[in-house]
Structure 1
Amino acid sequence: MKITRAMFVRGLSSFYFDDQAAIKGGARQDGFMYVGNVHTPGFSTIRQAGECVSVLLELENGCVAVGDCAAVQYSGAGGRDPLFLAETYISFLDKHLRPLLEGRAVEDFVANARYFDAIEFDGKPLHTAIRYGVSQALLDAAALAGGMLKTEVICDAYGLPVRAEPIPLFGQSGDDRYAAVDKMILKGVNALPHGLINNVPDKLGYKGEKLQEYLRWLVSRIGTLRASPDYFPDLHIDVYGTVGLIFDHDPVRIADYLAGLEQIAKPFNLYIEGPVDAGEKDKQMHELGEIKAQLTRIGAGVRIVADEWCNTYQDIVDFTDAQCCHMVQIKTPDLGSIHNIVESVLYCNKNGMEAYQGGTCNETDISARTCVHLALAARPVRMLVKPGMGFDEGMNIVNNEMQRAIATLRYRQETSRLNLAAA
């Protein structure tokens, strides 16, 4: 089955692009906007509308495969690719990628994905968002051509067992970190709330006291609202390096603070994402490793999660090999082609690192649904509820796609079992 036509369509993503450096630098919030000067190249304002480009691949049988090129909310930060604006890239895609896609056979997804992940123009690889969207469309094309679910295509390509079992879901609250928690508890999400602790004065506190207060409320709120005493979600909070700022990147002080948070979080398991941002990869691994070692020395069970500077498959391999953290976020748009996501999860699973298949609020329904199929095949510890910051919409998209896929897989497995028995 070949691609007869490739098209590229401008669209909107589910959130916004934010200049993380400006926000961490103290930009003042005014309603939904931020006031101040931009710090990251490519931004015209600190917060601006998120964009995507849909990749449409028409096949010989008339089916149309779809993928969405999308980039993370904090584009240009932590070693990531620059801002992805549709106007900048659509003409490039039409000129350079359409001829490479049209006429291409779609059955071998991994070979196609690796091809587009590796090609360069003017000595540079394609923007991660482009590789992300094109590979989604190629996976969809392989599934449509083979009459398979996308997760079945991945399992077949990597020799993985097809498991019709759910993946734990992790909800993100955005700035609505109180009302969103109520929603997450009511819908029984497996890990919560993310929290978006990306600012010292308003969200963390100069001594970390505001996060401590929030965590006390969070524990109490779960106890009050949960429908069953057996509901024990993991608490996973992203602090965007702000803990390192208030404790001068001192691993002993940081570890002591995190251990104190663990005591507040009991009886729930606590994960702290991005306790420090060291400014570059090697320093990041070193600082996280020192914090982890200190946590071990003092007998603390709080787990730290790598995010910043862990952006590619090779980064994930390096962080895993260094064992400098307990969990890595596989931030899906940052890895380019989606085969890198699968291989990252598999590498973590094989080498004793918890894999969190994450992403960004700034994705789309198409990319989020594709990621469900990747997770069902590769089996990370948890998967992000996305896109958007409203929780309910992302929970609907991710949970329902997962449940539909699981039901289909179970039906096919049962049908196969009955056919074998009848034979």
Structure 2
Amino acid sequence: MKIIEVLASPGLTGFYFDDQAAIKAGAAHDGLAYKGEPLTSGFKAVRQRGESISVILLLEDGQVAAGDCAAVQYSGAGGRDPLFLANEFIPIILEEIAPKLVGQELDSFQRLADLVEHSVRPNGERYHTAIRYGVSQAILDAVAKAKKVTMTEVILQEYNLPLVLEPVPIFCQTGDDRYDNADKAILKRAGVLPHGLINNVETKLGPNGELLLDYVKWLQKRVKELGDQNYRPTLHIDVYGTIGLAFKDNVERMVDYFAELEKAAGPLHLRIEGPMDAGSKQGQIEQLKALRNALRKRGIQVEIVADEWCNTYEDIVEFADQQAADMVQIKTPDLGGIQNTIKAVLYAKKLGIGAYVGGSCNETDCGGRTAVHVALATQPAQMLAKPGMGVDEGYMIVHNEMNRTLEILRHKEKSKTHSQDAFWW
């Protein structure tokens, strides 16, 4: 089966592009928007609509495969590729990527994805991570359609992985609506919640961490009130380096604070993402490792999740090699082709580090569903409900795709068993 044509259509994401530099510099909320001038190149406003591009592959037999190019909310920040706008990048896909794919035999996801991943533009630059991300999704879908199997099965076959017929815990993020959206996640029985968006010391963490501590106490109480005795979600909170800021990166003071958080969360397990931002990759590795070791020495079981300065596959390898965290967030769009997400999960697991197939609220339904197949095949510790910040929509997309796929795979396994039994004598 061959690819006979490549199309591209502009789309929207489930959230927005935000100018992180302008927000950190004090841009104030104006309803859902922000006041002030943008500071990051390419932005026309501090917050603007998220854009995507659907890459559509037409196959020889009339089938159609698709994947969505999308970039993270804070594009252009922290060493990431620049703002991804559809009208700027559709011509690149049609004029430069399409000729590489038309006529290709759909015999191997890895071969075709790597063909795009390792290609360079006529000016010698690599293709934007969002392009590599979306094109690789479309290739995976196309190979699955050519072979008449699920995308999960393509990954299992090509990476020689065992089939595990169990769901992967889904992580819901609340955004700033951290109370009502936490209720939604609890009512839906999400496996992991709430993210929380604790990105300001004064208004969200508290100068001595008191606001977050109160929030954790509320979460523990709310799970008990709205859940049942068998529901024990993991609490996973992203603090965007604010704990380090509040406690001036003093490890002993941070450990004392983590002990308070653990007590407040009990009996629920707690993870803290991005406790500090050291300002460099090596600094982040060293500080996270020091905090992790100090927590274990005190017998505190709160897990540390690496996010800042851990963006690419190579970064994830380095953090895992250094045992700098209990878990790494694998931000799918930042890694380019989804084959890099697959490799990152497998590498982290090999070294005993928790793998979290994350990404961004600023993705699409297509990207969320593709991530489900990556997760089912590679079995990370958790995956993100995406896109969006509303909980209901992102959780529905990911949860339903996971259950559909598991039902198909269970049926196939049952059919194999029945077929074997029929010929046994």
TM-score, normalised by the number of residues in structure 2: 0.97
Distance in structure 1 (CA, Å) of the matches to 2:175 and 2:254: 24
Q: What corresponds to 1:131 in structure 2?
A: 132
CA–CA distance in structure 1, aligned partners of residues 81 and 253 of structure 2: 33
Alpha-carbon distance between aligned partners in 2 of 1:153 and 1:257, rounded to the nearest angstrom: 45
Aligned to 1:165: 166
Tell me how far apart the structure 1 counterparts of residues 41 and 300 of structure 2 sit (CA, whole Å). Answer: 40
Higher mean C-alpha displacement, 25-34 vs 157-166: 25-34
Please give the alpha-carbon distance, in whole angstroms, between the structure 2 residues aligned to 1:57 and 1:261: 49
TM-fit CA distance, 1:246: 1.8
**Alpha-carbon deviation of 1:23?**
2.3
Q: What's the offset of the Cα at 1:204?
A: 1.4
Determine if the alignment matches structure 1 residue 153 to structure 2 residue 192.
Answer: no
Matching residue's letter, 1:165: E
- Whole-angstrom distance in 1 between the partners of 2:22 and 2:245: 15
Instruction: Report the Cα distance in structure 1 between the residues aligned to 2:283 and 2:237, rounded to whole angstroms.
Output: 22
Please give the residue correspondences for 1:177-196 in structure 2 after superposition, counting only pairs within 5 Å: 177-196=178-197
Cα distance in 1, alignment partners of residues 311 and 170 from structure 2: 21
Question: Residues 45-74 of structure 1, C-alpha deviation per residue, up to 9 Å, x if partnerless?
Answer: 111100000000000001110000001111
- Whole-Å separation in 1 of the counterparts to 2:23 and 2:243: 15
Secondary structure at 1:406 match in 2:
helix
Q: Which stretches of structure 1, 4 residues or longer, exceed 4 Å deviation after superposition? A: none
* 2:302 matched residue in structure 1: 302
Counterpart for residue 224 of structure 1: 225
C-alpha offsets along residues 233-292 of structure 1, whole Å, 9 cap, x if unaligned? 000000111222222222232222222211211111110001112222111111111211
Once the two structures are TM-superposed, the CA of residue 16 in structure 1 deviates from its matched residue by: 0.3
| Residue pairs, 1:203-242, within 5 angstroms | 203-226=204-227, 228-242=228-242
State the number of aligned residues: 422
Supply the distance in 2 between the matched residues of 1:207 and 1:36 (Cα, whole angstroms). 30
Contact 1:78–1:279 (8 Å) recurs in 2: no
Q: Deviations over 1:168-188 (max 9, x none)?
A: 111111111111111111111
SS in 1 for 2:142: helix
Which residue number corresponds to residue 279 of structure 1?
279
Listed as ranges, the matches of 1:345-364 within 5 Å are 345-364=345-364
- Equivalent-residue separation in structure 2 for 1:292 and 1:163 (angstroms): 31
Stretches of structure 2 lacking an aligned partner (at least 5 in a row): none
CA RMSD of aligned residues (A): 1.2
CA distance in 1 between partners of 2:400 and 2:55 (Å): 23
Q: Deviations over 1:67-87 (max 9, x none)?
A: 000011111223222211112
In structure 2, relative to structure 1, the CA distance for the partners of 1:44 and 1:253 (3 Å cut) is farther
CA 1:276–1:196: 2 relative to 1, 3 Å: same
Q: Quote the offset at 1:212 in angstroms.
A: 1.2
| Structure 1 position 217, deviation (Å) | 1.0
Q: Distance in 2 between matches of 1:334 and 1:85?
A: 16
Matches of 1:42 and 1:298, distance apart in 2: 47
The letter for the 1-side match of 2:146 is A
Change (3 A) 1:372 1:216: same
Q: Which moved more, 1:266-275 or 1:206-215?
A: 206-215
Distance 2:170 2:268 in 1: 16
Structure 1 letter corresponding to 2:37: N
Tell me, yes or no, if structure 1 residue 12 matches structure 2 residue 22.
no
For 2:40 and 2:272, the matched residues in 1 are separated by: 25
Tell me how far apart the structure 2 counterparts of residues 38 and 268 of structure 1 sit (CA, whole Å): 40
The residue aligned with 1:41 is 41
Match of 2:322 in 1: 322
Of residues 360-369 and 74-83 in structure 1, the stretch that sits farther from structure 2 once superposed is 74-83
Distance in 2 separating the partners of 1:377 and 1:229: 30
- Amino acid of the structure 2 residue aligned with 1:199: N
How many Å separate the matches in 2 of 1:375 and 1:5? 29
Paired residue secondary structure (2:183): helix
What is the correspondence of 1:62-141 to structure 2 with a 5 Å cutoff? 62-121=62-121, 122-141=123-142
Distance 1:35 1:291 in 2: 37
Residues 121-151 of structure 1: CA distance to partner in whole angstroms, max 9, x if unpaired? 2232111100000000000000000000000
State the SS of the aligned residue for 2:260: helix
> C-alpha deviations, 1:369-421, integer Å up to 9, x for none?
00000000000001111111111001110000000000000101101111111
Contact 1:22 1:40 in 2 (8 A): yes
Q: Deviations over 1:102-129 (max 9, x none)?
A: 1111221101111111111223211110
